[in-house]
Amino acid sequence: MKVAIFASGNGTNFEELTRHFLAGDLPGELSLLFCNHPDAPVMDRADRLGIPSESFTVKSCGGKKAYENKLLRVLDKYQIDFIVLAGYLRVVGPTILNKYDHRIINLHPAWLPEYPGLHSIERAFNDHQKQTGVTVHYIDANLDSGPIIAQCHVPILASDTVTTLEERVHATEHQLYPLALREALIAAGEKE
């Protein structure tokens, strides 16, 4: 099974998942990084790790429909079977969703259904919650609402700042995502 990771920024989760693929801990082959920001640091990580990468923006394509059609051609070129979102800060539209039904997973830094969307860690912290979490889920047409694969709570400590909470959430992501991805890839392989 050929896997693509979509990312938009720094790429720490991309690098963590790549390490697991290269070590043989995850079934399938990591065949592509796609980034919608050509200058994002994740592009340098892909280059350093020897992972093929492609990058273009919605603007450079002239709109979302053309962007998704171009992205679909890239996925076909690399013969991608499964997509992993790792800090991909765009809503995946129907062009991609329809082709990859139940074959796209996302990592979200909250205990869904709480705090969908952006700034989840900061919102949980500012609401003085006792805990937040990390969720891995399949994506659907709605924002952060697809079927959940795995979740893990992260306590919010009295001594926390947003920065220290973010560090613990990210550490939890790095532990949970490879395990949940392995489960999802095995399930997808069994359906073939």
pLDDT tens for the chain, 192 residues long, are 999 999 999 999 999 999 999 999 999 999 999 999 999 999 999 999 999 999 999 999 999 999 999 999 999 999 999 999 999 989 999 999 999 999 999 999 999 999 999 999 999 999 999 999 999 999 999 999 999 999 999 999 999 999 999 999 999 999 999 999 999 999 998 876
The position carrying tokens 């990058």 is 55
Catalytic residue among 102, 108, 153, 170: 108
Determine the pLDDT at residue 190: 84
Are 176 and 154 a contacting pair, CB within 8 Å?
no
- For residue 116, count CB atoms less than 10 angstroms from its CB and return exposed for 0-12, middle for 13-18, buried for 19 or more: middle
Determine the pLDDT at residue 191: 78
Determine the pLDDT at residue 24: 95
Please state, in angstroms and as integers, the Cα–Cα distance from residue 28 to each residue in 1, 18, 25, 117, 181, following that order: 5, 11, 10, 29, 11
**In a 3-state reduction of DSSP, which class is residue 54?**
strand
137 is catalytic: no
Instruction: Calculate ∠ Cα 113-12-181, nearest 5°.
Output: 55
**In a 3-state reduction of DSSP, which class is residue 106?**
strand
Question: In degrees rounded to 5, what are phi and psi of residue 141?
Answer: -75, -10
Nearest to 37 by CA among 58, 15, 16: 58
The CATH code of the domain at 106-192 is 3.40.50.170
Q: In the chain, where are the structural domains located?
A: 1-100, 106-192
**In a 3-state reduction of DSSP, which class is residue 37?**
coil
- Indicate the annotated binding residues for (6R)-10-formyltetrahydrofolate: 64, 106
Determine the pLDDT at residue 46: 98
- Indicate the annotated binding residues: 11-13, 64, 106
Tell me, which fold does domain 1-100 have in CATH? Answer: Rossmann fold (3.40.50)
Determine the pLDDT at residue 192: 67
Given this chain, do its domains 1-100 and 106-192 carry the same CATH topology? yes
